[in-house]
């Protein structure tokens, strides 16, 4: 966190933060590539890892899928009464 209010300090802080975020993304990408390359060579022992990762990814996708507009309760009940 930046305690100084000087413009130079603020610019240096933002520059360093950007560089740190870039390095984290680069290392995450390299780690993922290494993991995937390992899967390509040894698929039998790592199957359980793959299924766990895919399950986690699918959970994240389902949790982020949200309905933008809510349905009015009366409309909901009228629709199902007609069925």
In a domain, 27, yes or no: yes
What tokens were used for 64? 């982020």
Residue 23 CA to residue 1 CA, distance in Å, equals 19
What tokens were used for 34? 């290494």
Q: Is the dihedral of CA 13, 18, 19, 20 positive or negative?
A: positive
Q: Residue 15 sits in which domain range?
A: 7-64
Of residues 27 and 68, the one with the higher pLDDT is 27
pTM above 0.85, yes or no: no
For the chain, how many structural domains are there in total? 1
pLDDT per residue over 7-62, tens digit each?
888 888 889 999 999 999 999 999 888 877 777 676 667 677 777 877 777 776 55
In a domain, 82, yes or no: no
Of residues 16 and 4, the one with the higher pLDDT is 16
The whole-number pLDDT of residue 25 equals: 92
The whole-number pLDDT of residue 21 equals: 93
3-state secondary structure string, 26-55? HHHHHHHHHHHHHHHHCCCCCHHHHHHHHH
In a domain, 49, yes or no: yes
């Amino acid at each position: 966190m930046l305690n100084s209010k000087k413009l130079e300090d603020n610019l240096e802080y933002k520059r360093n933060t950007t560089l740190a975020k870039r390095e984290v993304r680069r290392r995450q990408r390299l780690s993922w590539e290494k993991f995937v390359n390992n899967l390509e060579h040894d698929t039998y022992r790592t199957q359980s890892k793959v299924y766990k990762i895919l399950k986690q990814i699918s959970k994240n996708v389902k949790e982020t899928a949200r309905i933008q507009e809510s349905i009015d309760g009366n409309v909901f009940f009228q629709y199902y009464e007609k069925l």
